[in-house]
Chain A
Amino acid sequence: MLSVRGLTKKYGDTEVVRGVDLQVNRGECFGLLGPNGAGKTTTLRLLLGLIEPDAGSIDLAGLPVPQQAREARMKIGVVPQMDNLDPDFTVRENLIAYGRYFGLDRAAITARVPELLEFAGLAHKADAQIAQLSGGMKRRLTLARALVHDPDILFLDEPTTGLDPQARHLIWQGLRRLIAAGKTIVLTTHFMDEAERLADRLAILDHGRIITEGAPRALIETHIEPAVVEVYGEGLEAWTRDHAGNVCTRSETVGETLFCYTEDADRVIDALKDASGLRYIHRPSNLEDVFLKLTGRDLRD
């Protein structure tokens, strides 16, 4: 459905995207992860043909991009990072106006609107102004708007950033319905739980390069020990000095917390028994641990 080879984009002397290869199959949900500034949004804009690559090739839904970007965009629905619903229109009018940009006639769009409103859970808000919608409603409407021309592929750029947990779950529910209906989804996010939940496969992008790729579970198994004990509290320094090297396979201190990665969490917990001032959380390792291990803990502002 999407095949990218050697994609490169330079701004001046800085390479923002540096030789990215991607393969997304039909019906798959593919996650593109990376810290801020890793090149996720630039990659999406390249895929849409909005900007031209300096090198590399893109084949999207059987069409070369950017050469036939316009035709390719007929088959793609886009949910952008920032809401850009039309504030001069009501909910319903937003869907109708957007459908026209795809060349759909009014009858075809009007027939589709009830279904889209139901999908977005906005049937009762059809004639509301955009300013009256909550953040979650706006996102759902943006998602419904991206479906107005029944695309084969959806591009979602951080679809749940800024939403509360309830609203995020509703978006995820909608996305799972779309996956079940056979849509192909390309999703960028920096929420690891989101990627773990939705993506069949994912790639981690950092400094414009793909540093790893695979199914979420497989990435966790490949890159990281199965369990983590997070230790914090009084006496951490002494405990780290005396025990961490023995009981942790790998450990890392971040701020006031020691992340102790291990194959045998019981051994770590045993070693913590006598340290009365210390507290700990024991949990299975997750995608975030992989992400932080691979991209580092430095702030990316």
Chain B
Amino acid sequence: MTSHWRLPRLSWRFIPVWQRNYLVWKKLAIPSILGNLADPMLYMLGLGYGLGSLMPDVAGMPYITFLAAGTVAYSTMNAATFEVLYSSFSRMHVQRTWDAILNTPMTLDDVMLGELTWAVAKSLLSGLAILAVIWGLGLYGHFWMTLWIIPVVALVGFCFGGMGLVMNAVSPSYDFFLYYFTLAITPMVLLCGVFFPVSQLPPLLQDVSAWLPLTHAVDLARPLVVGTVPENIPLHVAALVVYGSIGYVVALALTRRRLLK
């Protein structure tokens, strides 16, 4: 069916879908925020100070600063990924909320754009919380420079939201998502300079790393924390946009095949 592969038609009609997710989230906002944020923060503070006190500077900065910058990218990735995997899957497959919406003038293009933008919102929340800790602990170089982290975080959310929606489209059950975490997300965390510099990797893995979206996220976020202008900004931005967009387009086609048959 070639018609499933036609390009998305984007429109502002996605807003009620975004709003639906927001209203549900608002009911459980406090536990949801705690649940989303406690984990990365504990890792960051525990490893940053605990392990960091044993180490010399890493890449010219204290380890806690190095790790905080990595955590911004990493926790944003996780927030977007969890949202479009587990939460979107519940709405699509378990609760059949998407089916109900598709009987209205909404199209699947609208529904999935609503899900993607909602994942961006969740990422922003997650990234902002880490940023707040960075501000609170004074781990930054220039305050004004750190504000650029906000659009970076949104972009990272878009990138991993789009990619995750592909997994959502092809998954038969929740268990399937474990493959994505084990085979994609976890290796990426280790290969993309979150916990240690990419330069520590063997040359071959460094080459692989250069192609991974999380590397581009980290390469944007870390200089902004330290207070320098990132190098190759257009490349990193383009990489994140391309990964996210291709993800959304492919996910839409696969979900059309799944639901509209």
A101 close to B106 (CB less than 8 A): yes
- Distance in angstroms from A136 CB to nearest chain B CB is 19
Report the bound CA distance from A70 to B260 in whole Å. 14
Contacts of B101 in A (CB 8 A): 101
Report the bound CA distance from A2 to B112 in whole Å. 30
Contacts of A78 in B (CB 8 A): 103
- Answer yes or no: B96 CB below 8 A from chain A CBs: yes
Q: Which of A79-87, A238-246, A259-267 contacts B (4 or more CB under 8 A)?
A: A79-87
Q: Which of the residues B13, B19, B27, B100 comes within 8 Å of A80, measured between beta carbons?
A: B100
Offer 26 A-B interface pairs, CB within 8 angstroms, sorted by A: A11-B261, A51-B261, A70-B107, A73-B103, A73-B105, A78-B103, A80-B99, A84-B95, A84-B96, A84-B97, A84-B99, A84-B100, A86-B95, A86-B100, A87-B95, A88-B27, A89-B23, A97-B16, A97-B20, A97-B23, A98-B100, A98-B104, A100-B16, A101-B16, A102-B104, A103-B105
A100 close to B24 (CB less than 8 A): no
Q: Give the most central of A80, A93, A100: most B CB within 10 Å.
A: A100
* Interface residues in chain B, defined as those with a beta carbon under 8 Å from any beta carbon in chain A: 3, 13, 16-17, 19-20, 23-24, 27, 95-97, 99-107, 260-261
Nearest A-chain residue to B19, judged by Cβ: A100
Given known contacts A70-B107, A98-B104, A101-B106, A88 and B99 CB-to-CB distance under 8 angstroms: no
Report the bound CA distance from A74 to B105 in whole Å. 6
Contacts of A85 in B (CB 8 A): 100
Report the bound CA distance from A84 to B94 in whole Å. 9
Nearest B-chain residue to A100, judged by Cβ: B16
B97 close to A86 (CB less than 8 A): yes
Contacts of A52 in B (CB 8 A): 3
- Distance in angstroms from A36 CB to nearest chain B CB is 18
Report the bound CA distance from A50 to B101 in whole Å. 12
Nearest A-chain residue to B11, judged by Cβ: A70
* Interface residues in chain A, defined as those with a beta carbon under 8 Å from any beta carbon in chain B: 11, 48, 50-52, 70-71, 73-74, 76, 78, 80, 82, 84-89, 93, 97-98, 100-103
- Distance in angstroms from A152 CB to nearest chain B CB is 14
Contacts of B23 in A (CB 8 A): 89, 93, 97
B261 close to A102 (CB less than 8 A): no
Report the bound CA distance from A87 to B107 in whole Å. 21
Contacts of B96 in A (CB 8 A): 82, 84
B95 close to A70 (CB less than 8 A): no
Q: Which of the residues B3, B16, B20, B102 comes within 8 Å of A50, measured between beta carbons?
A: B102
- Distance in angstroms from B189 CB to nearest chain A CB is 31
Nearest A-chain residue to B97, judged by Cβ: A86
Report the bound CA distance from A97 to B100 in whole Å. 11
Contacts of A87 in B (CB 8 A): 95
- Distance in angstroms from A120 CB to nearest chain B CB is 16
Q: Which of the residues B3, B13, B20, B102 comes within 8 Å of A86, measured between beta carbons?
A: B20
Contacts of B260 in A (CB 8 A): 50-51
Report the bound CA distance from A103 to B13 in whole Å. 8
Nearest B-chain residue to A90, judged by Cβ: B27
Nearest B-chain residue to A83, judged by Cβ: B96
- Distance in angstroms from A53 CB to nearest chain B CB is 12
Report the bound CA distance from A11 to B257 in whole Å. 12
Contacts of A101 in B (CB 8 A): 16-17, 101, 104-106
Report the bound CA distance from A293 to B221 in whole Å. 72
- Distance in angstroms from B250 CB to nearest chain A CB is 20
B3 close to A73 (CB less than 8 A): no
Report the bound CA distance from A93 to B23 in whole Å. 10
A73 close to B104 (CB less than 8 A): yes
- Distance in angstroms from A138 CB to nearest chain B CB is 12
A89 close to B24 (CB less than 8 A): yes
Report the bound CA distance from A301 to B101 in whole Å. 29
Known: A73-B105, A89-B24, A103-B13. 14 other contacts (CB 8 A): A70-B107, A73-B103, A78-B103, A84-B97, A85-B100, A86-B95, A88-B95, A97-B16, A97-B20, A98-B104, A100-B16, A100-B19, A100-B20, A103-B105
Report the bound CA distance from A86 to B97 in whole Å. 6
Report the bound CA distance from A52 to B103 in whole Å. 15
Report the bound CA distance from A86 to B27 in whole Å. 14
Q: Give the most central of B97, B104, B261: most A CB within 10 Å.
A: B104
Q: Give the most central of B17, B19, B101, B105: most A CB within 10 Å.
A: B105
Contacts of A80 in B (CB 8 A): 99-100, 103
Contacts of B261 in A (CB 8 A): 11, 51
- Distance in angstroms from B4 CB to nearest chain A CB is 10
Report the bound CA distance from A74 to B13 in whole Å. 13
- Distance in angstroms from B190 CB to nearest chain A CB is 35
Report the bound CA distance from A103 to B17 in whole Å. 11
